A and B are shown apart, each in its own frame.
Chain A
């Protein structure tokens, strides 16, 4: 296997998809989440020793996402057990994130909050989340986190609905005291694949939306389109709500590297052939600009696989690697693979 990407022996950072429970019904939900916990989700009593074990084995940052982490029973216990050991980040829609809860999160030592906005106004955001009043709650959550002294980012997934409002969302985020705005690509995962025709933008429309973004003073931008298109797989580690090692939450529909409650994560990281191949940067094609600035190759493996069915394919969300792929056409469903070399190149 050719190694073009930076190499890690074991992962220092991990994403924990702590639950697939959520009170909302977003049309794009990658977790295809439900109101009640799904059977087999790890409990807080199972997460805590797993997280301690990860810390003992070199993980120093945990990024919690879901579902909605704050809807996870016992989530504050999990966070309390984690903050002495690792930097923590929580991605949330902020439903029920009151000033009191924000203060409690600050007291527990939460390192960063990331709140999703799916519009700059209640009509757009609430239509996307399927929950009346959710824009007001997300807005209040951002303000509450900021007031509690927790550095807070706003995340926005670039869709046909959010693109026309990108500047207004950035203004809104800045006005609430957010530090950064992360503009994220849409992935054909979960419900987003089913709603793809309604949500997805062409490459040209995505580029246009990013080009017209005018950042308010003091707000930083995070985005991963060319020439910032990186294959962050080289450092990726993630465990889903059921304790399965999946490398990255954006691979959730495509891979299962094994049971992280039974096999040490580092062992999975070092031995699973597909996981190793995804991290290696051994891709068919790579863009000089992006690899020059990002130190990694070929763009995102999730969207490469989704659109081409080959793990080593070019990432069609990269301007120079798109090669005419129409991103508004939903990609076919891909069978969920186990680990194994048979998935490396179709």
Chain B
């Protein structure tokens, strides 16, 4: 079943572009995480859309630059890590959406 990803409620981001990283605060349970550029990009793309749309935008952004963030699997593992850190949450798409499609 397709799933969507969004930022967990209450999570606050503190981009530090001059150091090419972003801090992310989860209030419950409290934790502050440092994200590298690719995790930060994935996080900002998690705006409630489907995983494949987010993935397409991610690879559009990192593809041309190459590097470890552009390897197959980098996107999926970033999603898994961000979810484990309590920064994003997934939702299964309701059948109703499929019916109307």
CB pair A83 B19 closer than 8 Å: no
Number of interface residues of A (CB under 8 A): 20
Q: Smallest CB–CB gap between A234 and chain B, Å?
A: 10
**Partner pick for A60 among B25, B28, B29, CB 8 A cutoff:** B25
User: In this assembly, does B16 line the interface, its C-beta being within 8 Å of a C-beta of chain A?
Assistant: yes
CB pair A111 B12 closer than 8 Å: no
Residues of B in contact with A, size category:
10 to 19
User: In this assembly, does A58 line the interface, its C-beta being within 8 Å of a C-beta of chain B?
Assistant: yes
State the CA gap A167–B29 with chains docked (Å).
32
**Partner pick for A86 among B25, B28, B29, CB 8 A cutoff:** B25
**Partner pick for B27 among A9, A12, A58, A84, CB 8 A cutoff:** A84
Q: Quick one: which of B4-62 are within 8 Å of A by CB?
A: 10, 12, 14, 16, 18-19, 23, 25, 27-32
CB pair A58 B14 closer than 8 Å: yes
State the CA gap A88–B30 with chains docked (Å).
8
User: In this assembly, does A85 line the interface, its C-beta being within 8 Å of a C-beta of chain B?
Assistant: yes
Q: Smallest CB–CB gap between B91 and chain A, Å?
A: 23
Q: Smallest CB–CB gap between A180 and chain B, Å?
A: 15
User: In this assembly, does A8 line the interface, its C-beta being within 8 Å of a C-beta of chain B?
Assistant: yes
Q: Smallest CB–CB gap between A15 and chain B, Å?
A: 15
CB pair B30 A111 closer than 8 Å: yes
Q: Smallest CB–CB gap between B20 and chain A, Å?
A: 11
Contact of A9 with B18 at beta-carbon distance under 8 Å, contacts A60-B23, A60-B25 already known = yes
User: In this assembly, does A134 line the interface, its C-beta being within 8 Å of a C-beta of chain B?
Assistant: no
Q: Smallest CB–CB gap between A88 and chain B, Å?
A: 7
User: In this assembly, does A61 line the interface, its C-beta being within 8 Å of a C-beta of chain B?
Assistant: yes
User: In this assembly, does A222 line the interface, its C-beta being within 8 Å of a C-beta of chain B?
Assistant: no
CB pair A87 B32 closer than 8 Å: yes
Q: Quick one: which of A60-82 are within 8 Å of B by CB?
A: 60-61
Contact of A87 with B25 at beta-carbon distance under 8 Å, contacts A110-B30, A111-B32 already known = yes
| Residues of A contacting B27 in the complex (Cβ-Cβ under 8 angstroms) | 83-84, 109
Q: Smallest CB–CB gap between B93 and chain A, Å?
A: 30
| Residues of B contacting A84 in the complex (Cβ-Cβ under 8 angstroms) | 10, 27
| Residues of B contacting A110 in the complex (Cβ-Cβ under 8 angstroms) | 30
User: In this assembly, does A6 line the interface, its C-beta being within 8 Å of a C-beta of chain B?
Assistant: yes
Q: Smallest CB–CB gap between A71 and chain B, Å?
A: 23
| Residues of B contacting A149 in the complex (Cβ-Cβ under 8 angstroms) | 29
CB pair B25 A109 closer than 8 Å: no
User: In this assembly, does A7 line the interface, its C-beta being within 8 Å of a C-beta of chain B?
Assistant: yes
**Partner pick for B19 among A6, A87, A109, CB 8 A cutoff:** A6
CB pair B12 A60 closer than 8 Å: yes
Binding site for B on A (CB under 8 A): 6-9, 12, 58-61, 83-88, 109-112, 149
6 closest cross-chain pairs (CB), A and B:
A111-B30, A87-B32, A60-B14, A12-B14, A60-B25, A87-B25
Binding site for A on B (CB under 8 A): 10, 12, 14, 16, 18-19, 23, 25, 27-32
Beyond A59-B14, A111-B31, 5 extra complex contacts between A and B, CB < 8 Å: A8-B19, A9-B18, A12-B16, A83-B30, A86-B12
Q: List 27 A-B contacts (CB under 8 A).
A: A6-B19, A7-B18, A7-B19, A8-B16, A8-B18, A8-B19, A12-B14, A12-B16, A12-B23, A58-B14, A60-B12, A60-B14, A60-B23, A60-B32, A61-B25, A61-B32, A83-B30, A84-B10, A85-B12, A86-B12, A87-B30, A87-B32, A109-B27, A109-B28, A109-B30, A112-B30, A149-B29
